[in-house]
Structures are given as C-alpha cells and as structure tokens.
C-alpha cells in the first residue's frame, strides 16, 4: 500500500524555516569568525609553549653545530674589525654586517635575507637523520648542520640557508628567543623546506624564505614540522591539509 507523506501544516513549516534560517545564520557567523581569526594568524607561533620538546643540548648533531659556530665566532669578529685579516670567503659578510649596524631591525632582516639568498639554489643533499626518544615519542631530526663560515665557503641546501640567516641575525644582536629555524613540509613541492622565523619588538613574527619572500602570515603551502634555536627544540604536531591541484599549479606559475 502506498503511503503518502504527511504534509506539514503552515505553522510547522514556518517554524522549520525559522530554525533553518537561524542555523544558516550561525554557520555564516562561525565561518566568518574562522576566516577572520585565520587572517590574523602570525607567520610563526612563538607563543606556542605546548610544542616544546626538550633542550637543544639533547641533540648531538645540533649541539655539535652550536659548538663549531662558537669556535668560528672569533674568525668572524676578527674579519669585522680588520679588513686586512679578513679571509676571502668572509669579506662580503663584513660589508653586510657594517651596513646593517645602523639599520632598524626589520631592515636588517630584509638585508640578511637577500644577502644569503643571493648565493643561489644549490643541489639539495639528503641529510642523514637520527631518531631521539622523548616523552612525545621518537623524534627525527637532521644529523648535521652547516655553520656560517662553512656556508660562505661552499653554500648548501635550504636548511643551511636558514642556519646562516639565523647566525648573522644573532651577530647583529637579535635574541635567540626571537629566532627559530623552522623545518616545514611544502605541500606544493611535496618536500621538506627550511626557513627562519623572526619576532620583532612589536611582537610581530615574520618568516624568511629562500626566494627573498618575507611572510607576515603563515603561508598556506607550509606545514610546520619542527623548529629549533640554540636553547630548545619544538615539535609542531599539525595535521596536513590537502591543497587542490589547481591552486598548487597557480602558485607554481
């Protein structure tokens, strides 16, 4: 037997319409709020203390890099003080440091970013990684890092660009707590990439890339994996978001 659906009365229909309008209104408000919050998202979450993993000294490769960098500081300082005693591969750095000394912090950031990037892109070298057990599970990190002096001699990959920018900004007086080397996953290129996060006095953060871009907001293409400075290491447990192929192709053009 065919049963006809019950036709709602006019009052029930009006109530349903009101509920639907209310639900759509709430959805619209929620959507606008999410977009608004996303639009104000900083380039890097310096205030995210929950992502702290451990002290930087717990990672042998990174700790070795820090020690080698300290050993080479005298070499750089000697070059800055005396042009005659400046080794050839450090001469351009001497000019940059002298030029940046009188600049505002943001201008220093721009100058350092352009200077390091001018070396051009070198062939990527897949570096060995080690697995370190932590309270959050096994943590994989790059095994070796290139110091400032070593990079100026032979260049390096994107992580080496990041460490070099970090070291120059430290020489210029920027505090370690306002700097981080960020390892991210590039959703468009489908590979890992190294960048530098900088926090200035007004608490704004910026992300320095190898193509001379300086992001004031977190780029959609990058998913942060982990970050580190000379004091600590942070693990960013962020779920991957697939980017439409059409959008990825637009960014590649």
Secondary structure of residue 203 in the 3-state scheme:
coil
Secondary structure of residue 53 in the 3-state scheme:
strand
Q: What is the reported pLDDT for 244?
A: 43
Distance CA 249, CA 253 (A): 6
Which tokens belong to 111?
């100058």
Q: What is the reported pLDDT for 237?
A: 63
Q: What is the reported pLDDT for 187?
A: 92
Contacts of 225 (CB under 8 A, 6+ apart): 183, 184, 185, 192, 235, 236
Q: What is the reported pLDDT for 48?
A: 80
Q: Where are the domains of the chain?
A: 44-252
Q: For the chain, list residues with pLDDT below 70.
A: 1-40, 119-143, 237-253
Run of H or E including 150:
helix 148-154
Site of tokens 């890099």: 65
Q: Could you name the CATH architecture of 44-252?
A: Roll (3.10)
Straight-line distance from the first to the last Cα atom of the chain, in angstroms, rounded to the nearest whole number:
62
Q: What is the reported pLDDT for 29?
A: 31
Site of tokens 């697995």: 131
Q: Is the pTM of this model over 0.95?
A: no
């Amino acid at each position: 037997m065919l049963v006809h659906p019950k036709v709602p009365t006019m009052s029930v229909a009006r109530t349903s319409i009101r509920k639907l309008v209310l639900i759509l209104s709430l959805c619209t408000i929620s959507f606008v709020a999410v977009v608004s919050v996303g639009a104000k998202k900083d380039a890097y979450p310096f205030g995210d203390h929950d992502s702290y993993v451990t002290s930087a000294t717990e990672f042998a490769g990174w700790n070795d890099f820090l020690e080698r960098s300290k050993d080479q500081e005298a070499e750089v300082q000697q070059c800055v003080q005396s042009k005659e005693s400046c080794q050839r591969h450090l001469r351009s750095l001497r000019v940059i440091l002298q030029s940046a000394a009188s600049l505002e912090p943001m201008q220093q950031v721009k100058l350092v970013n352009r200077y390091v990037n001018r070396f051009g892109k070198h062939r990527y070298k897949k570096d060995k990684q080690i697995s370190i057990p932590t309270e959050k599970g096994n943590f994989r990190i790059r095994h070796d890092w290139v110091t400032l002096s070593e990079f100026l001699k032979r260049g390096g990959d994107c992580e080496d660009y990041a460490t070099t920018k970090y070291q120059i900004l430290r020489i210029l007086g920027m505090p370690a707590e306002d700097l981080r080397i960020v390892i991210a996953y590039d959703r468009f290129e489908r590979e890992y990439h190294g960048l530098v996060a900088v926090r200035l006095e007004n608490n704004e953060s910026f992300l320095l890339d190898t193509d001379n871009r300086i992001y004031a907001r977190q780029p959609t293409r990058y998913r942060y994996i982990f970050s580190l400075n000379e004091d600590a290491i942070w693990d960013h447990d962020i779920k991957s978001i697939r980017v439409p192929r059409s959008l990825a192709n637009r960014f590649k053009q």
